Amino acid sequence: MDWGRVKFFLGEVARSFTRNTLMQITAIGTVAMTLMLLGAFLYVRTTLADLGNGMLAQIEISAYLEPNVTPHQINALRAAFKVDPRISSAEFVPKSEGLKELRARMRGIIDTSLLTENPLPDKFRIRVRAPQLVPAVAKDVARLSGIQRVLYGQQVVTRLLQLGEVLRRVGMALIALFLVVAGIIISNTTRLAVYARRREIGIMHLVGATNAYIRMPFIVEGLVVGILGAVAAIVLLVAAHAMFWPRILEALPFVRFNTAVVDVPSLILQLFLVGAIIGSAAAWVAVGRYLQT
Amino acid sequence: MISLRGVSLLYPNGVRALDHVSLEIGKGEFVFLVGHSGTGKSSLLRLLYREALPSSGDITVDGIRVNRLPSRRVPALRRHLGVVFQDFKLLADKTVWENVAFAMQVTGAPTKDILRQVPRALDLVGLSHRSRMYPDELSGGEQQRTAIARALVNNPKILLCDEPTGNLDPANTTEIVDLLLRINLKGTTVVVATHNQAVVDRMRRRVVRLENGKVVTDKERGYYYLGLGQGQVLSG
Ligand SMILES: Nc1ncnc2c1ncn2[C@@H]1O[C@H](COP(=O)(O)OP(=O)(O)OP(=O)(O)O)[C@@H](O)[C@H]1O
Ligand SMILES: [Mg+2]
């Protein structure tokens, strides 16, 4: 390892970096804002997705059987549910059992002793592996022979799924917008840095430095801006989390958020990665444009 | 060492800076390029270090076909050439030592080579005692010597100078010309574009005169004006 070379290179980067401090701070700030938004979005999305999944996981499909269904048909249905990979469990609930459940649920609300005749059909209680699968599975089950009617919380499921999708899209659009803004600001910073160093760049060209060598310090600069932006974003996010999260929980006591589902180290790593990529890529593009000889 | 065959250079604005120039410069030669302002001296030098490409004709520099050289190979060509300008092109925030070392550092030279070559180049131009000074602490002649040291630090076989004494007083001019001569005596091919009649006439070297982008005279042991020495020129 030629330390003299490393030292010279880092010296050049530092020299260029400190030449336009104000612009660099602006760029770092923009990256930090963008990454904070991204970090908060990912955190909240993971938590909400878990919450939604929790609610959806409780949703079951009730597949009511025709009154004259034969035991043979019931067995056939049971076998069909077993081989469907989307279905995690399918439990047969005979009408007597269903009545008992109904009585339990209605106790105190109506006088269940009035139910002298059992009005309920036999049913299968089906659970699926992922909430998104509920509508499709319900539709397929309804087509099987021996099934009269299929019920599930249609509206709840579709609404929750739709809401999640809308939130996801809005968040992504916002983040994309911010990433573009951060990229433009870093590109501009790089352009200024290139302009400030045009004499040096001219001499470098003259004495036979390669384009790759000339570009390198600017890209490293962009990388540093991205990484410093990520550091700032993480620090601010941690502080904001410590300050506001308890209050949010307090304000919404009936919602059981489970933040343990957020993989914090991997979230931090993601923010670093995004910062590094946006910083170096924007610098790369800018320097490529302004170093054409 | 340097060869131009039927070289023309047409700038995008329509100016024909060079018009079918053919010129051979051998290894170890010392050549003056003279001619009125705007006759294409700088343009010719620019073609040699591939700052410009000819519109037609062939250029060979140290065995490299410059007009066929792909852009990515240009750095390799420039490492075989030293180039010096009227305005020195030094970096104000670097010392003499750092300015000279810069040419090696940015081409990725190993530190041990830099530590060996830079003192050698500074010694050659007589600036060892100024190595920690900044350009604005130096005389014009010392600044140009720094630029020459930078041009020579990679041991090029060819040194191209565009008006190297244009900004200097007579004393500094003499100093720089003597230095160029010493460099030439060590085997480096030197090409100097200049307006300085006194220098050309005192040196009595090969003189190539350009007029309107054409070579009009090419004389060994020539004078600035067509075969005439200083003082022999009639007024007008
Ligand atoms: N980059 C350029 N674009 C267009 N025209 C140019 C360019 N550089 C030079 N020229 C023109 O080409 C011609 C030759 O210019 P050049 O600089 O080679 O002359 P020169 O002999 O070096 O002059 P001087 O002695 O004043 O330095 C001039 O007419 C000039 O205006
Ligand atoms: Mg000129």
Lowest mean pLDDT among A73-82, A90-99, B144-153, B222-231: B222-231
Q: How far is ligand 2, taken at its centre, from the CA of residue B35, in Å?
A: 10
| Band of residue B8 on the pLDDT scale cut at 50, 70, 90 | very high
pTM summary value = 0.76
Residues 6+ apart with CB under 8 A from B181: B30, B203
The CATH code belonging to domain A60-152 is: 3.30.70.3040
| Mean pLDDT along residues A211-229 | 91
Contact between A77 and A93 (Cβ < 8 Å): no
Task: Classify residue B94 by its DSSP letter.
Answer: S
Query: Residue B123, CB half-sphere, CA atoms under 13 Å: how many?
Result: 6
Task: Classify residue B51 by its DSSP letter.
Answer: S
Residue A167: per-residue pLDDT: 82
| Band of residue B228 on the pLDDT scale cut at 50, 70, 90 | low
Rounded to whole angstroms, how far apart are CA atoms B71 and A1?
30
Task: Please report the number of interchain residue pairs, chain A to chain B, with beta-carbon separation below 8 angstroms.
Answer: 57
Residue B234: per-residue pLDDT: 46
The protein residue whose alpha carbon is closest to atom 27 in ligand 1 is B37
| Band of residue A115 on the pLDDT scale cut at 50, 70, 90 | low
> Of all residues in chain B, what percent carry a pLDDT higher than 90?
90
Indicate if the pLDDT at residue B10 is higher than 90: yes
| Band of residue A50 on the pLDDT scale cut at 50, 70, 90 | confident
Indicate if the pLDDT at residue B227 is higher than 70: no
Cβ A213–B108 below 8 Å, yes or no?
A: yes
Indicate if the pLDDT at residue A19 is higher than 70: yes
ipTM: 0.90
Residue B157: per-residue pLDDT: 95
| Band of residue B206 on the pLDDT scale cut at 50, 70, 90 | very high
Residues 6+ apart with CB under 8 A from B3: B23, B24, B25, B58, B59, B60, B61
Q: How far is A178 from chain B (nearest CA, A)?
A: 36
Indicate if the pLDDT at residue B22 is higher than 90: yes
Higher-confidence residue of A180 and A97: namely A180
Contact between A77 and A124 (Cβ < 8 Å): yes
Rounded to whole angstroms, how far apart are CA atoms A163 and A169?
10
Closest alpha carbon to B194 in B223, B232, B234? B223
| Mean pLDDT along residues A113-127 | 76
pLDDT digits (tens, 9 = 90+) for A147-159: 888 888 766 767 7
Q: How far is B106 from chain A (nearest CA, A)?
A: 6
**What is the identity of the amino acid at A276?**
A
Length of chain A: 293
| Mean pLDDT along residues A116-138 | 80
Task: Give the pair of three-digit tokens for residue A138.
Answer: 């319900």
> What residue in B sits closest to A201 (Cα-Cα)?
B106
Contact between A133 and A60 (Cβ < 8 Å): no
Indicate if the pLDDT at residue A163 is higher than 50: yes
pLDDT digits (tens, 9 = 90+) for B147-205: 999 999 999 999 999 999 999 999 999 999 999 999 999 999 999 999 999 999 998 99
Indicate if the pLDDT at residue A101 is higher than 80: no
Residue B174: per-residue pLDDT: 92
Cα dihedral sign, B100-B102-B108-B111? positive
Chain A residues in contact with B78 by the CB 8 A cut-off are 205-208
Q: Strand ranges (DSSP E) for B26-154?
A: 30-34, 56-61, 64-65, 81-85
Task: Give the pair of three-digit tokens for residue B71.
Answer: 């852009």
Cβ B154–A208 below 8 Å, yes or no?
A: yes
The residue to which tokens 């073609």 are assigned: B47
Residue A244: per-residue pLDDT: 87
Q: How far is ligand 2, taken at its centre, from the CA of residue B211, in Å?
A: 13
The residue to which tokens 């770092």 are assigned: A28
SS3 call for B93: coil
Q: Which residues of B touch A (CB under 8 A)?
A: 49, 71-72, 74-79, 83, 89, 91, 93, 102-103, 105-108, 110-111, 114-115, 150, 154
Rounded to whole angstroms, how far apart are CA atoms B18 and B32?
17
Q: How far is ligand 2, taken at its centre, from the CA of residue A76, in Å?
A: 96
SS (H, E, C) chain A: CCHHHHHHHHHHHHHHHHHHHHHHHHHHHHHHHHHHHHHHHHHHHHHHHHHHHHHHHCCCEEEEECCCCCHHHHHHHHHHHHHCCCEEEEEEECHHHHHHHHHHHHCCCCCHHHCCCCCCCCEEEEEECCHHHHHHHHHHHHHCCCEEEEECCHHHHHHHHHHHHHHHHHHHHHHHHHHHHHHHHHHHHHHHHHHHCHHHHHHHHHHCCCHHHHHHHHHHHHHHHHHHHHHHHHHHHHHHHHHHHHHHHHHCCCCCCCHHHCCHHHHHHHHHHHHHHHHHHHHHHHHHHHCCC
pLDDT digits (tens, 9 = 90+) for A172-190: 898 888 889 888 888 888 8
Residue A110: per-residue pLDDT: 67
Q: Which of residues 179-218 of A touch B (CB under 8 A)?
A: 199-200, 202-211, 213-214
Lowest mean pLDDT among A68-82, B49-63, B121-135: A68-82
| Pairing outcome for strands B81-85 and B158-162 | parallel
> Which helix or strand (DSSP H or E) is residue B200 part of?
helix B197-203
Residue B218: per-residue pLDDT: 92
Phi, psi of B192 (to 5 degrees): -125, 120
- The beta-carbon contacts of A151-154 under 8 Å, at least 24 apart in sequence, are A151/A61, A151/A62, A151/A64, A152/A59, A152/A60, A152/A61, A152/A62, A153/A59
Indicate if the pLDDT at residue B233 is higher than 50: no
- Start-to-end C-alpha separation, chain B: 37
pLDDT digits (tens, 9 = 90+) for A53-75: 777 667 788 888 888 888 888 88
- Count CB neighbours of A156 within 10 A: 14
Among B75, B114, B115, the residue with its CB nearest the CB of A208 is B75
How far are the Cα atoms of A7, A25, A212, A216, A217 from residue A287, in angstroms, in the given order? 23, 19, 10, 9, 10
Contact between B184 and B30 (Cβ < 8 Å): yes
> What residue in A sits closest to B147 (Cα-Cα)?
A203
**What is the identity of the amino acid at B90?**
L
CB of B41 closer than 6 A to ligand 1? Answer: yes
Higher-confidence residue of A207 and A165: namely A207
Residue B62: per-residue pLDDT: 93
Rounded to whole angstroms, how far apart are CA atoms B66 and B49?
8
For chain A, the domains span 3-55+159-292, 60-152
Q: How far is A48 from chain B (nearest CA, A)?
A: 53
Residue A12: per-residue pLDDT: 85
Average pLDDT, chain A: 84
CB of B196 closer than 6 A to ligand 1? Answer: no
Closest alpha carbon to B149 in B119, B174, B171, B175? B119
Residue A168: per-residue pLDDT: 83
Indicate if the pLDDT at residue B229 is higher than 60: no
